[in-house]
Amino acid sequence: MAEQVFPMDRTRHVDIIRHASAMADKAAFVADDFARALFPRTDVVFNDRMRSNARQYLRSAIGRVETRICQIATRDLGVTHEKLLSIGEGADGQSFAVLEHSGLLNTVEIVQHLFVKTQQSELAARLLQKISQQDLESTLTRHLDHEDSVVAEAAMGLLVAQSKTTGASGEIAASLADLPPEIVYAFVWPVTAALARLTGFPGQQLQQAAERLLAAHDESSGVARKAERLAQLLDQSGTDQDRVPHPMRDGLTLFVARLARQSGLSTDQIITFTAEPNMARLVVVMRAINIPVQDALSIFAALDGGDHILTAATYGETDRDRSLALVSRWASPNAYQNAERILSSDLLGDQGK
């Protein structure tokens, strides 16, 4: 058998050395990653589609921020750097590749935002298994003929905002207007630093561009604010027949906004509840705001991603007063809830001494 000869590519040899060195620096974290997979601290399940959507959305969000910084730098501040001009004109950005494994994107705020957006996409996919895309779109378009022109205008605003959050072939995409201010801030500075490193361009003007982006950021045209506005108008409308929110009648975004408004919770909380086992907290929310039993069962069935069933007996036996108390507690600021849990745990520990 002839001996197989592999030509030596010095460039690839150097790459292997570089990658091996980088992996050695991160070797201590391999066990941590494996431990998180083996011993999760919650029962929430993250499927492959959710992981894929999270990466798509993160890449899209970083790209939006990167493009806008480059546009401000080149158009408003007179920067003429070739790579910055190219990114500002729509060329593929490069910051994501630099930041992906840096740890700079692994913050509580960013990861929580990614989870909510990913779960929202998961819910949208579940709904499309139970209602056609055409029927789902009609949940909003029917409001375009509302007798109150303000409601019709709000519905159009939400439709336009939603159209900016869907990428090619239905991919999940980010819109700058739909990013909360704290998330924009969390993205802007790592992206600015990455651009400075990639281009070799002095960071001062890039920092000025980043500051202008933050100062000009306006989330009022984003999906969340448009949905909140329409939810408010519909709940106040004396002619609206669908008093009870429902994802099959309202569409997902408006349903979440209406449920959040009626319960006093945030839309992020409502979406998070749908990812939890048996959607127990969502059931408590529905019971607290006194959603009729048949509507509650229908909502549960529309949002469930497995074979779980909410029965009339289980829903009816869920105490409303206790549900109201729980929802009121969940509506408290997160910092207060965390402090309350820690203090309660400390008190229990002290009592056991």
Grade residue 338 by pLDDT with cuts at 50, 70 and 90. Answer: confident
| Tens digit of each residue's pLDDT (9 = 90 or more) over 96-116 | 999 998 989 999 999 999 999
Q: For position 170, what pLDDT does the model report?
A: 57
- Same domain as 292, residue 204: no
Q: How far is CA 179 from the centre of its chain?
A: 9
Cα–Cα dist 227/213, whole Å: 24
User: Would the pLDDT of 209 be above 70?
Assistant: yes
Decide if 32 is inside a domain: no
- Same domain as 157, residue 62: yes
- Same domain as 249, residue 199: no
Mean per-residue pLDDT for 53-74? 95
Decide if 149 is inside a domain: yes
Mean per-residue pLDDT for 201-206? 85
Helix, strand, or coil here: 101?
A: coil
Grade residue 150 by pLDDT with cuts at 50, 70 and 90. Answer: very high
Mean per-residue pLDDT for 60-65? 95
Mean per-residue pLDDT for 72-90? 92
Decide if 176 is inside a domain: yes
Decide if 201 is inside a domain: yes
- Same domain as 206, residue 250: no
User: Would the pLDDT of 60 be above 60?
Assistant: yes
Question: Is 13 or 263 the better-scoring residue by pLDDT?
Answer: 263
Decide if 38 is inside a domain: no
Q: For position 5, what pLDDT does the model report?
A: 46
The most confident of the ranges 136-150, 227-241, 288-302 is 288-302
- Same domain as 295, residue 171: no
- Same domain as 211, residue 283: no
Decide if 35 is inside a domain: no
Q: For position 40, what pLDDT does the model report?
A: 85
Q: Which domain holds residue 272?
A: 243-351
Decide if 347 is inside a domain: yes
| Tens digit of each residue's pLDDT (9 = 90 or more) over 260-295 | 999 999 999 999 999 998 999 999 999 999 999 999
Run of H or E including 51: helix 48-71
Residue 56 tokens, joined: 């798509």
- Same domain as 175, residue 294: no
- Same domain as 214, residue 274: no
Decide if 16 is inside a domain: no
Cα–Cα dist 51/49, whole Å: 5
- Same domain as 254, residue 193: no
Specify the number of domains making up the chain: 2
Mean per-residue pLDDT for 346-353? 54
Chain mean pLDDT for the chain = 87
Among the listed ranges 182-186, 197-201, 239-243, 298-302, which one has the minimum average pLDDT value?
Answer: 239-243
- Same domain as 324, residue 196: no
Q: For position 351, what pLDDT does the model report?
A: 53
Among the listed ranges 21-35, 41-55, 180-194, which one has the minimum average pLDDT value?
Answer: 21-35
Q: What percent of the chain has pLDDT over 70?
A: 90
Q: Are 227 and 255 in contact (CB under 8 A)?
A: no
- Same domain as 158, residue 65: yes
Q: For position 164, what pLDDT does the model report?
A: 75
Cα–Cα dist 88/95, whole Å: 13
Q: For position 350, what pLDDT does the model report?
A: 54
Cα–Cα dist 146/152, whole Å: 5
Q: What is the pTM of this model?
A: 0.85
Q: Are 300 and 280 in contact (CB under 8 A)?
A: no
What's phi and psi for 166, nearest 5 deg?
-115, 120
- Same domain as 247, residue 201: no
